[in-house]
A and B are shown apart, each in its own frame.
Chain A
Amino acid sequence: MDTMIPVDRGGPAQPLLLATGLRKHFPVGGGILGRGRKVVRAVDDLTLSVAKGETLGVVGESGCGKSTVARLLIRLIKPDRGTMVLDGDPVDEPHGITVNELRRQVQMVFQDSYASLNPRLTIGETLAFAPKAHGLPAAEARERVRDLLSKVGLDPNNYAERYPHELSGGQRQRVNIARALALRPRLVILDEAVSALDKSVEAQVLNMLVDLKSELGLTYVFISHDLNVVQYLSDRVLVMYLGKIVELGPVEAIYGNPQHPYTRALLSARPSMDPRKRTKEAPIQGDPPNPIDPPSGCRFRTRCPFAEDVCARAEPALSDTGHQSVACHMSIAGSGHSKAVRGGAAAA
């Protein structure tokens, strides 16, 4: 039996991580003493849960708040408001678990494989660092390092003594993944973890992530701007636009039957892989607006071909349509949008 599989506590039905009403606004520029101060609404009242054993994909364009969500989930930054519960235990609250304990169970892998490794430490030293800091005796830490390196497909005899600059980008990213696994976490957040890799190497790392997940019973939050890779890996997908969730659901529903006009545009903006079916027309025009002063109501309305008055007036709530959740007035019965589903509740 593999000793690296963590113990489940609250049972399979209890979410591994539940975040409610997370908000993070960053102050930018603006006047002195806070007067006329502007804020970037990086993440705005976002609620999500991560089920045990799933891969939750997070997509959206640059600046929509994906990395901010990731950093909030491991508490690298403190939310302005909102709560988090890890397998039944509230985080950073009197009767719950500490932020340190959260950071042991939830680990993160970043995009930049070079910047996140200390150039003066060997790979072995880097990997042994956290386990030793958590009190693992030196001999056991060495054993853990060998185990971790073999798990990510690097021969311990060959790589433990090397320095980061002696590795290729793909090898360095394997080391980063190994480091994230060093404390036997339950949840790993991968923020653009394969985005800097060449395609031929990306495939190696994706295969490895799939293997590690089943071998170690891991749960992933996989953040990427690459819609194809997210589709490949994820069980559920969360689509963000300007700090908000616009759509959330099973991967088949999001890719097979996207409901939100932004999700549809994003998916059909993917370049075609078939020269006989090249893209004829861009699905939407213009650039994403500035997150400092997002549009009122629905934040997508300024680029949405279906926008009506109600879209500027009221913010659409994330509503269940039966297959997925969508934040669009067209999916909310009685919203006042002319294309809204009619009748009582949205088709349930």
Chain B
Amino acid sequence: MSDLLQVRDLHVTFKTPDRTVHAVNGVSFELKRGETLGILGESGSGKSVTLRSILRLHPEHRTRWSGSIRMEGDEVLEMGSRALADLRGRRVAMIFQEPATAFDPVFTVGQQIAETIRRHTGKSETDAFKRAKELLELVRIPSPAQRLKAYPHEMSGGMRQRAMIALALSCNPSLLLADEPTTALDATVQIQVLLLIRELQREFDLGVIFVTHDIGVAVEVSDRIGVMYAGKIVELAGVEQMVDAPQHPYSRGLLASTVHDGMRGQRLEAIPGAPPDLAEVPTGCSFAPRCKFVRPDCTTAPPSLRATGDTHLVRCVLAA
């Protein structure tokens, strides 16, 4: 089966007046239809930049990139403006942490969803509103007919997030990009939205890339998990492999330092130090300065992604 999305050796560099940021440094992965890939990593590791690259949402004049992003075979990095508009408006949808930015505050939620449907399907206004109501039902917004007439600020955070998901699904995308969509939600609401995304993903056979810094959230939604560090995927594996037997010292450290049930009274295994500055490309492994297994060859050349199992990839010289 061919891949829905193929990312090959993606590099993204931003030039700002005072510095250069090497945000993504050689990211490769593929995604199948109906599959959910979780991208897990700490702040600044390049999760959002990777995700936004798929829609080419970076400021064009300050951004350098190389590599390849193929969506259903089409090269995104070479698309003209029409193909790009089609990609962003129809084929790929995105949801993020702050739903307020997805909606225009001066129009009702119904108007905005219906307008998106009309633009992409040419449906009549009445039909578009009918579909919008179905979508609100689908994301389990209570009294959807009434809610169509609500302005974004009249909805609670959890309801706005559902409405954004409805908006995202309104153009029947085949790929859903989710950038920390539940991070700002309350715990009891977060789990509702996670289950909703999981369910819709199955129902529509969507490919989903779900970015998060929360391991528990990644475990709830993902088929595979990619762990990012300093602009690279350092480990990519099935969710069970990743949780049971992480191989990269950073993934292992991250799992060990995450507090969960039954750790009371134990000393936490913290990773010393802090992530590196992205102004320079390191000659060796970016994690080497914090790694307790560091060897001389870790700092001479960047380690390549090695396969340690059928579907388990690790970027570490120690990986067998």
Contacts and interface: CB of A to CB of B under 8 A. Distances in A.
Interface of A: 61-62, 168-171, 198-204, 206-207, 210, 225-229, 231-232, 251, 255, 265-266, 269-276, 278-279, 281-288
Contacts of B257: 199-200, 202-203
A288 B254 CA distance: 32
A279 B187 contact: no
Interface in B245-290: 253-254, 257-261, 263-264, 267-272, 274-275
Contacts of A206: 259, 268, 270
A203 B191 contact: no
Interface of B: 42-43, 142, 156-159, 186-192, 194-195, 213-217, 219-220, 239-240, 243, 253-254, 257-261, 263-264, 267-272, 274-275
B219 A207 contact: no
Contact of A61 (B186, B214, B263): B186
Contact of A273 (B186, B192, B215): B215
B279 to A, nearest CB: 14
A203 B268 contact: yes
A274 B219 contact: yes
A149 to B, nearest CB: 17
Given A61-B186, A269-B190, A284-B188, 20 more contacts: A169-B43, A170-B274, A171-B274, A198-B213, A199-B42, A200-B253, A200-B270, A203-B258, A207-B267, A226-B259, A228-B260, A255-B261, A266-B188, A269-B188, A270-B216, A272-B220, A273-B258, A273-B261, A278-B219, A288-B186
Contacts of A171: 274
B187 A228 contact: no
Contacts of B272: 204
Contacts of A227: 187
A273 B220 CA distance: 8
A251 B264 contact: yes
B261 A228 contact: yes
Contacts of B219: 271-275, 278
Nearest to A62: B186
Contact of A275 (B42, B213, B243): B243
Given A283-B191, A287-B189, A198 B275 contact: yes
A272 B271 CA distance: 23
A299 B19 CA distance: 52
A273 B216 contact: yes
B44 to A, nearest CB: 9
12 contacts: A61-B186, A171-B274, A198-B43, A199-B215, A199-B254, A207-B268, A225-B186, A231-B264, A271-B216, A281-B195, A283-B191, A285-B192
Contacts of B270: 200-201, 203-204, 206-207
B254 A200 contact: yes
B207 to A, nearest CB: 19
A279 B240 contact: no
A225 B190 CA distance: 12
Given A171-B274, A199-B257, A200-B253, A279 B195 contact: yes
Contacts of B158: 286-287
B59 to A, nearest CB: 24
A282 B259 contact: no
Nearest to B223: A275
B240 A275 contact: yes
Given A200-B253, A272-B216, A282-B195, A232 B259 contact: yes
A168 B275 CA distance: 9
**Which of A170, A210, A285: most chain B Cβ within 10 A?**
A285
Nearest to A167: B274
A266 B187 contact: yes
Question: What 8 A-B pairs have minimum CB-CB distances, sorted nearest first?
Answer: A271-B216, A203-B257, A203-B270, A198-B42, A61-B186, A200-B271, A203-B268, A204-B270
Contacts of B239: 275
Given A200-B42, A200-B271, A282-B188, A271 B214 contact: yes
Contacts of A282: 188, 191-192, 195
B188 A203 contact: no
Nearest to A227: B187
A265 B254 contact: no
Nearest to A230: B259
A199 B195 contact: no
Contacts of B187: 61, 225, 227, 266, 269-270
A321 to B, nearest CB: 22
Contacts of A270: 187, 216
A281 B199 CA distance: 11
B9 to A, nearest CB: 26
B259 A203 contact: yes
Nearest to B269: A203
A214 to B, nearest CB: 12
Contact of A271 (B42, B142, B156, B194): B194
A265 B186 CA distance: 12
Contacts of A232: 259, 263-264, 268
A220 to B, nearest CB: 15
A278 B216 CA distance: 10
A229 B258 CA distance: 9
Contacts of B156: 287
A218 to B, nearest CB: 18
Contacts of A203: 257-259, 268-271
A265 B243 contact: no
A229 B257 CA distance: 11
A232 to B, nearest CB: 5
Contacts of B263: 232
A229 B260 CA distance: 7
Contacts of A275: 219, 239-240, 243
A310 to B, nearest CB: 23
Contacts of A62: 186
A276 B261 CA distance: 16
